[in-house]
Homo-oligomer: A and B are copies of this chain.
């Protein structure tokens, strides 16, 4: 590898490819694969997002991927949706409030690593989302979790919102574990006096249709968790994804799905025999932006949008 001042990301990725082994090799191959996934007009991309990607600064990247037509399906946690809404309603994520969790609680701060939230932002969130739920409960027929998230998206005005962008660009968002979040909690509290019943398995109707209608599916998996498994397992009925990238710090030795090498998915037909799979070990909040920047450059000559 040769490192010089004033490098471009594309040059940098090429240097990683020259090394071509260990982490450098994995990042290079993931970049190359993501570029091919983007360029392939027949491939629908499922983006799986676990971990605090929105609080961690990835919100705009995801919204831009939706607006640019790069991704066709999103699978994430209720928490990432909650944090997207928190920002949509004027809240923010904060830094440098220390690590004394009892004191943080007293001063109305919640901590995620070195990221902080304020309870006053959550109060705004609660009022706003309750108001939106009142509207959508009356105007839409909502059966599935995806319906619910879509309907919320139609009431958001913040142009940087993932949920709004997804609604406007017909990118369905699945959040199978939505109940396990502040958004889920608000829905439950709303349902104390309303009846916005979401069928826990109803999403599979639409999601399986998307899978069957896709000539190919590529998965981009940030972190592990429920979203990783759902992204892969939803492709099981069709024989598995055709390509996948995962970026994770989870280990493989415990047998957890999050840390499992992508190859393991082949035994379950969640990835096709012969599919191109790259697992990158590292922090997705650094390595996904890097891989994406490199892939955009590689793909830029003949990128095809509007899949």
Contact = CB atoms under 8 A, between A and B. Distances in A.
Interface of A: 1-10, 12, 15-16, 18-27, 50-52, 55-58, 60-61, 64, 77, 79, 93, 95, 101-102, 104-105, 109-115, 145, 176-181, 184-185, 187-188, 191, 197-205, 223, 225-226, 229-230, 233, 236, 249-260, 263-269, 273-274, 281-287, 289-290, 292-293, 296-297, 300
Contacts of A55: 21, 255
Contact of A113 (B12, B112, B187, B252): B252
A286 B287 contact: yes
A5 to B, nearest CB: 4
Given A254-B249, A264-B112, A293 B225 contact: no
A9 B290 CA distance: 9
B204 A178 contact: no
Contact of A105 (B15, B57, B268, B281): B268
B254 A285 contact: yes
A286 B21 CA distance: 10
A115 B56 contact: no
Interface-central residue, A145, A181, A187, A268, by most chain B CB under 10 Å: A268
Given A61-B1, A105-B269, A267-B105, A21 B56 contact: yes
A243 B156 CA distance: 39
Contacts of A260: 112-113
A152 to B, nearest CB: 15
Given A21-B57, A286-B282, A184 B198 contact: no
B225 A204 contact: no
A82 to B, nearest CB: 11
A3 B255 contact: no
B286 A251 contact: no
Contacts of A52: 22, 255-257
Contacts of A265: 101
Contacts of A197: 197, 199, 202
A240 to B, nearest CB: 9
A199 B194 CA distance: 13
A113 B281 contact: no
A23 B114 contact: no
A32 B5 CA distance: 14
Contacts of A289: 1, 3, 12, 15-16, 24
Given A3-B292, A110-B268, A200 B300 contact: no
A223 to B, nearest CB: 6
Given A101-B265, A145-B200, 7 more contacts: A9-B9, A23-B254, A24-B57, A51-B256, A52-B256, A111-B267, A113-B264
A266 B5 contact: no
A75 to B, nearest CB: 9
